[in-house]
Amino acid sequence: MTVSLDLAFTKPGGKAENTIIAFVGPGLAVGPQVKALGVAELIARAASAARFSGKAMSVLDVLAPAGTDLDRLVLIGTGKLSDVTDYDWVRLGGVAIASVLKTPAATVLVERPDGRKLAPKHVGDLALGMKLRAYAYDRFKTKKEDEGTDRPTSVRVSLATVDLPAARKAWKRTEAIGEGVVTARDLVNDPPNLLGPIEFAERAAALKSLGVTVEILTEKDLKKLDMAALLAVARGSVRPPRVAVMRWTGGRGKQPPVTFIGKGVVFDSGGISIKPGGGMEDMKGDMAGAATVVGVMQALAGRRAKVHAVGIIGLVENMPDGAAQRPGDIVTSKAGKTIEIVNTDAEGRLVLCDLLTYAQERFKPRLMIDLATLTGAILVALGQHNAGLFANDESLANGLLAAGKATGETVWRMPLGPDYDKMIESKFADMKNVGGRWAGSTTAAQFLERFVVDTPWAHLDVAGTAMNSRQTEINKSWASGWGVRLLDQLVAEKYEK
């Protein structure tokens, strides 16, 4: 769901809306389109009155500027142009659209204030930032704007840029990525009563319209596949589990696929090891890893990425019940390894371990990346600013670190090692599902690593980044859709060429 944003590209110098957005650099530098407005003196006066100096992401809103027939001239600072990164252009798009969300229509003068040509990629980045910032989850708000709320409903924005075909092409690509982010956000924001495993699987199946092959595995299928660890989590819920397998085959020949695996716990009550009540509603977002996997598959298919990619998501609900699994239970995973359940609230790893085995047996993947809201401990370690990155492969880890810097969806490498692995040894089984209070994110990752056999693998713990999000220029929603842009960028940089 978004504020309906009608984006179009136009040539400079055509008919503009009465609200104009322009970019301003240090020393109040402006590009040729702004110069042609003949408002240099006006900008200088307004800037000095408001101490606006073109600092990055700063905004100066000039209402009814004298001597023009404009209603508004919105000036947006870029800061020093050599410092502006790809991600900054996305942010600038977010800042630009935010200033006009309550205005019916605006024209953005899309150009660099230093007179150099704005790369088409950055035009696409600007438009992407606009799309993401305009997102608002209002599916269940029954009052619309004209009934006295301050929620905007629609904005028309034209982007005036010199190279129309290149701009439209760049936007085609970033729009597909944006659609993937929006899907992920919608899934995470949706309430758990309406988004159980069956409904979630249906949403994944909708990717068929983009040419993605989607299979939905039912409880019966999962039993046949021996996914006993995943099924153990689902036992306490009246809503049966599903696994969705999404395949995009845009690559060449028989190349092995890059594989994304997502934790999709549609609601995590903790099960018999039930969570305290405060904040438990946030556990509707415990399927964010799966949502990101759907989002990235949508992005790759939407932009016709030249790669073979597989997305696998495990959809279950973790509930307390007479039929629920209990502490002390021992389950045999698909891989044949036995697991002593010590805490039913450490359920995500039980879902993922069977999916890791399934992915390797069926697809012999080029690499696997799992995403999961796996541990509260990752929030203690990294806050909301980085996802935890655990990996058994340097090239994959470095690719993710670089993609994180490029997209602003940053990751921080966390340790793995045999001493941590010892912490999940069990008295009764091959391993237990928790490792004690210390290094909780790492022992969860060690658990997963035990199911990885000779495959480059990375685990992203997104408990801090996916939901209850940090507010940024490009997201004001509870769900961030974190990871869609990161993984799309990783694929584009490393696995599509």
List the catalytic residues.
Answer: 275, 349
**Residue from 175, 186, 190, 268 in contact with ligand BES (CB under 6 A):** 268
* Closest-approach residue to Zn ion (CB): 268
**Residue from 88, 125, 190, 268 in contact with Zn ion (CB under 5 A):** 268
Binding to Zn ion by residue 370, rule CB under 5 A? Answer: no
Binding to ligand BES by residue 292, rule CB under 6 A? Answer: no
**Residue from 271, 348, 456, 481 in contact with Zn ion (CB under 5 A):** 348
Select 286 or 409, whichever has its Cβ closest to ligand BES.
286
Residue 16, contacted partner among ligand BES, Zn ion, Mn ion, none, CB below 5-8 A by kind: none
CB of 378 to Zn ion, least distance (A): 12
Encoded one letter per residue, x for contact with ligand BES by CB under 6 A and - for no contact, window 447-486 reads ----------------x-----------------------
Encoded one letter per residue, x for contact with Zn ion by CB under 5 A and - for no contact, window 227-266 reads --------------------------------------x-
Binding to ligand BES by residue 340, rule CB under 6 A? Answer: no
- Give the footprint of Mn ion on this chain (CB under 5 A): 268, 345, 347
Binding to ligand BES by residue 348, rule CB under 6 A? Answer: yes
CB of 440 to ligand BES, least distance (A): 6
Select 437 or 497, whichever has its Cβ closest to Mn ion.
437
Binding to ligand BES by residue 440, rule CB under 6 A? Answer: yes
Select 236 or 456, whichever has its Cβ closest to ligand BES.
236
CB of 145 to Mn ion, least distance (A): 39
**Residue from 125, 138, 286, 370 in contact with Zn ion (CB under 5 A):** 286
CB of 461 to ligand BES, least distance (A): 9
Q: Do 387 and 458 touch, CB atoms closer than 8 A?
A: no
Give the interface with Zn ion as residue ranges (CB under 5 A). Answer: 265, 268, 286, 348
Give the interface with ligand BES as residue ranges (CB under 6 A). Answer: 268, 286, 343, 345-348, 373, 375-377, 434, 440, 463
